[in-house]
Structure 1
């Protein structure tokens, strides 16, 4: 959905500016007039567009409402956070090893551009051989060519030898001798990482101990074919420095002992078992061994920070009717404003209209006719099928619920269009526009949600969200006189508040 044109109202901006705190001291009228005249240009530019150099008109915008003091203007590059300390693990302590192929690099490097932060993130892309036009691109990690693996046997009848070289990326990265490394993170070239959330998770573990952190597949059959205790490599996994040091010493011998395994992650897992280190499971790493529409998972995400998304070439775009890479860029808009809250679900009810409202912050909002229990709303709808083309709940490693064919039970879905941050109020405002699908055949005697064309959601960022015991945020439907608009507040649940009731 395109941003409002210059001659249209921007309801998010207007609401944020109108409610901003004003200074309490007074001035003579002539001075006030002078200030107003001088400040007009600043007001015009007070909502600045970040990351817009390659963003087409239909892309959402990140806007920050700037607060003006007498002599300075506050222009943060992202939402301020107070949780950084000198000793705490941060992105500077993480080295990424991205497994890639020369045959897919030209296309898949565009996924990496959406999450890689030049001069902040560290690591390399590991290819099977050099590629043309591989000159330094400062928006991408530097390229390394994997070492020769011809001395290792590969006996799996359906896999490829690339599994051997990719399994050695952690060891090869360790041998580079990079300074101040605490974690090595593996992923594929079609994996997107959510960096701030990943750093928060890793900061909770001691890198001087043996840790192997990841998550199994969403596919029950894939986990049976491999292991429920294995960190699937596309979804990404993290290995502590101490464990990487131990792995590097024994890995080649381990590979010689396991020539019949299929993939690189299975080989890593085999070596971890020889070292006696089990997988520390952390939801949020998404292997996505599925096909189809991912929205069912994202709209009912586990109560855990989102860390990665894999197989982006095989699932439908994260946002409908968009190019896959541009859809990922759109998801990165709210991530820059409130990464801890990204995709987190909150559930509330509009009792006067008998509606259930589910907010997946920074992604989508759903309105259902009727009052649906939170325990059902928290279960992902099967908008997708399994890696083996199954569409029943037994195919998945997590609870799912069917998508109803009853038009009265189909949700009205609103996808992210815009996101703002107001420094004065220290809160975000995000806009969601209805996805044009007809639900007009319903004959229930319940108010028709089709009158709602857009939804505004207001939320205060909480960088310490995951320092507390896991709990969903609460949401509240706010009164509004804006025609065709629903206004929702999302935030920490108040004392005694349960699911918006």
Structure 2
């Protein structure tokens, strides 16, 4: 339509009339909004946090956008602070460890607390909860206090740069870079409750399969945390007989209409004994947390719990996203299957095993506990019929290329008598969440310089490449 046609169709008088009517309509809408008769459509429908929204959405989430609320106890802090110091990054991370009282000073080394203070988050003393009733026959007073860690963390009033509040216990081991990578998937301006259920079937059945377990850690987006903090005390009164803090928080979030967004990288670790099977067949997702490490066997042989987790984290510092990621190779010369759980262990099986079987976790833990994930229930009682295991020893990097070394800890009968070490070559992993996660491929090579060493190269699979064992001849 040209200018002449436009002026003919819309004379100035009609244009002015429309402008006046539009002004009256807009004024009327603002008047109704001021009276609260029309809800804020953006907030009501999308729950968006609007402060600095353009800037917030433009830059990726980093550690500076996260506030941590850690539930602890003054009675156990002297030991648990060693755990927190493994993952806390002073000067970068924000948050607080909430204790019911200040921990006692170390009588044998008065300066010990001061030496560690720079490596640890600040201590906050939890507020008085005596005004919140609870069923004293079934509920501990600490349950009420731990629930309020959420509202008290929000009340720390950090700047508008906050996007997420993350909660855990003082024996929760976080992998910070993987936490960031996981949260980057989500719009922090919307309401999100992110975490994972328990590995123990009965724990989920008794609570809910849609409840995050706090020891495994969970995340709340900023706008959801702000709303939850306002209703938390009144909600606790309604659920005064609920025995655990996790169940209370889940009930309060459910009343707000929010359900759990499942992320399998959060681990409550509600199993007992040897968790080799759980770690060696990790989901193709970043490892975010490990909990209850005191309640299971050390994850590396000949180490304490603290030393073992520290050893795993040394690999994560080099290639955080690849830690525990499982890659499977089929070796033609030995007709064997090699399963690499990067940064942790390699399993060598002296036969061809279907990929769909070997990616299932071998049931190595206390068999009295029924788990809530895919496992191979059969764990052979004869050690000679089990895979030979090489445990992570060390890792080095050159730019984006890494070399990790795995050494045999004991001889599994007479198999692989000459192999002492497996070297794994890879590039630093950068998982993309814009597409479904895909397991990587690998090749096996013989070392020309040392007959006791086998080399494994990890790589991205080709577009139509498959991970399959050698075909069976009929």
User: Which residue in 1 is equivalent to 2:144?
Assistant: 164
Q: 2:405 aligns with which of 431, 440, 465?
A: 431
Pick the structure with greater CA Rg. 2
The 1-side partners of 2:136 and 2:199 are apart by 24
Aligned pairs, number: 402
The 2-side partners of 1:461 and 1:468 are apart by 18
Shift of 1:118: 1.2
The 2-side partners of 1:156 and 1:260 are apart by 8
The 2-side partners of 1:124 and 1:140 are apart by 9
User: Which residue in 1 is equivalent to 2:373?
Assistant: 398
User: Which residue in 2 is equivalent to 1:480?
Assistant: 447
* Structure 1 segment 262-411 matched on structure 2, within 5 A: 262-385=243-366, 390-391=368-369, 395-401=370-376, 402-411=378-387
TM-score (norm 2): 0.82
- Structure 1 contact 231–279 (Cα < 8 Å) conserved: yes
User: Which residue in 2 is equivalent to 1:493?
Assistant: 461
The 2-side partners of 1:374 and 1:123 are apart by 43
The 2-side partners of 1:215 and 1:335 are apart by 21
What do residues 61-100 of structure 1 show as CA deviations (whole Å, max 9, x unaligned)? xxxxxxxxxxxxxxxxxxxxxxxx9711111101111110
Shift of 1:495: 3.2
The 2-side partners of 1:269 and 1:290 are apart by 22
What do residues 115-161 of structure 1 show as CA deviations (whole Å, max 9, x unaligned)? 11111111110001112345571111000011111111221645421
Aligned partner of residue 321 in structure 2, secondary structure: helix
* Structure 1 segment 28-43 matched on structure 2, within 5 A: none
The 1-side partners of 2:198 and 2:137 are apart by 22
Change (3 A) 1:466 1:319: farther
What do residues 266-306 of structure 1 show as CA deviations (whole Å, max 9, x unaligned)? 11101001111001111110000111111111110011111
Task: Identify which range, 98-107 or 153-162, moves more after superposition.
Answer: 153-162
Shift of 1:428: 0.2
The 2-side partners of 1:168 and 1:366 are apart by 44
TM-score (norm 1): 0.78
User: Which residue in 2 is equivalent to 1:412?
Assistant: 388
- Structure 1 contact 149–165 (Cα < 8 Å) conserved: yes
- Structure 1 contact 340–465 (Cα < 8 Å) conserved: no
Task: Identify which range, 360-369 or 402-411, moves more after superposition.
Answer: 402-411
- Structure 1 contact 382–403 (Cα < 8 Å) conserved: yes
User: Which residue in 2 is equivalent to 1:15?
Assistant: none
The 2-side partners of 1:139 and 1:195 are apart by 15
Aligned partner of residue 327 in structure 1, secondary structure: helix
- Structure 1 contact 476–500 (Cα < 8 Å) conserved: no
Shift of 1:500: 5.8
The 1-side partners of 2:344 and 2:379 are apart by 19
Aligned partner of residue 429 in structure 1, secondary structure: strand
Q: Going by fraction, where is helix more abundant, 1 or 2?
A: 2
Aligned partner of residue 207 in structure 1, secondary structure: coil
Change (3 A) 1:465 1:436: farther
Aligned partner of residue 362 in structure 2, secondary structure: coil
1:198 matched to 2:179? The reply is yes
User: Which residue in 2 is equivalent to 1:115?
Assistant: 87
Structure 1 residue runs of 5 or longer lacking an equivalent are 1-84, 441-447
What do residues 403-431 of structure 1 show as CA deviations (whole Å, max 9, x unaligned)? 112444301101111100012xx310000
Change (3 A) 1:86 1:333: farther
- Report the aligned-residue RMSD: 1.6
1:142 matched to 2:122? The reply is yes
The 2-side partners of 1:405 and 1:113 are apart by 39
Change (3 A) 1:86 1:384: same
Shift of 1:376: 0.6
What do residues 372-416 of structure 1 show as CA deviations (whole Å, max 9, x unaligned)? 000011100111126xxx15xxx1111111211244430110111
Which structure's relative contact order is higher, taking Cα pairs within 8 Å and 6+ residues apart?
Answer: 1
The 2-side partners of 1:156 and 1:478 are apart by 64
- Structure 2 contact 185–433 (Cα < 8 Å) conserved: no
User: Which residue in 2 is equivalent to 1:176?
Assistant: 156
1:94 matched to 2:50? The reply is no
The 1-side partners of 2:199 and 2:127 are apart by 32
- Structure 2 contact 74–104 (Cα < 8 Å) conserved: no
The 2-side partners of 1:372 and 1:406 are apart by 18
What do residues 201-243 of structure 1 show as CA deviations (whole Å, max 9, x unaligned)? 1111111111000010000011111111100000000000000
The 2-side partners of 1:112 and 1:408 are apart by 39
- Structure 1 contact 354–370 (Cα < 8 Å) conserved: yes
- Structure 1 contact 122–141 (Cα < 8 Å) conserved: yes
User: Which residue in 2 is equivalent to 1:49?
Assistant: none
User: Which residue in 2 is equivalent to 1:18?
Assistant: none
- Structure 1 contact 410–439 (Cα < 8 Å) conserved: no
The 2-side partners of 1:120 and 1:374 are apart by 41
The 2-side partners of 1:170 and 1:451 are apart by 55
